[in-house]
Amino acid sequence: MLFALIIGLVVGAVMGLTGAGGGIIAVPALVEAMGWQMQQAMPVALLAVTAGALVGAVEGFRKKLVRYRAAIIMALVGMPLTSAGVLVAHQLSQTWLMAVFAGILLVVAVRLINGSAPVTAPTSNAPALLCINTATGRFDWTLTTSVVIASIGGVAGFITGLLGVGGGFVIVPMLRRYTNVSMHGAVATSLLVIALVGSAGVGSAVLHGAVIPLEFTAFFMVSSALGMLAGRQIARHLREDTIQRAFAALLVLVALNFAYRVATV
């Protein structure tokens, strides 16, 4: 169980720093160290990530960083698509899942690197950025805002079910790209979405026949929650662009590892 504790701490810390990334470490680690297929590793990783995300979301609420209306909309749209992602995952071979995993990570990494400069508030000539009203501290909810937020939730939900990674590595970059939410606010909001959508993903995986080793997963979940708390504390002392670039580098490394495995099959 030492492995479960160590990987759980690392997974939680990465998720606390970035609002994502836990699953992209957990899934490859379980595949490599335990010799599991991705379909076996995904529900275990997702359950641990979901538990850690819940702890982080509560802490985000306490600090008033969570955009809870946006998170609820993303979760409501994402939950049904999580089941679709699980169904597709069970139809794909191990090789194809790894190839999809690697491709998605590389795309997100590139977008994250391109958007690593601090996001500034838009001017009246730049309406594309969904703006938080400085007077209310909330989004100005329009049809466009609702569609964009719902779309982010839908993509994250499908990815959650397909890859078992929580979907935060989609949510955080997209919130940073299309809104003026701070990195810390995007992370906290992402964690709430992961907690909600991840729960649906775990349930769907179990209904589709996934078997979860309870003792191993319990150790994994507890250590992930502890790592999450540590990561959130560390994040307070780091620059936002530093976190984004480090996260992007992590995505590239994991993607290259999976690409190598696909190429050598």
Asked if 249 and 75 touch (Cβ cutoff 8 Å), the reply is no
Q: Considering the entire predicted model, what is its pTM?
A: 0.73
* Residue ranges making up the domain that contains 223: 2-263
Residue with the two structure tokens 């297929």: 37
Give the pLDDT band of residue 115 (cuts 50, 70, 90): low
pLDDT the model gives residue 172: 83
Q: How many domains does the chain have?
A: 1
pLDDT the model gives residue 19: 62
**pLDDT tens for residues 122-164?**
444 444 456 666 666 677 788 888 888 999 999 988 988 887 7
Share of the chain above pLDDT 90, in %: 6
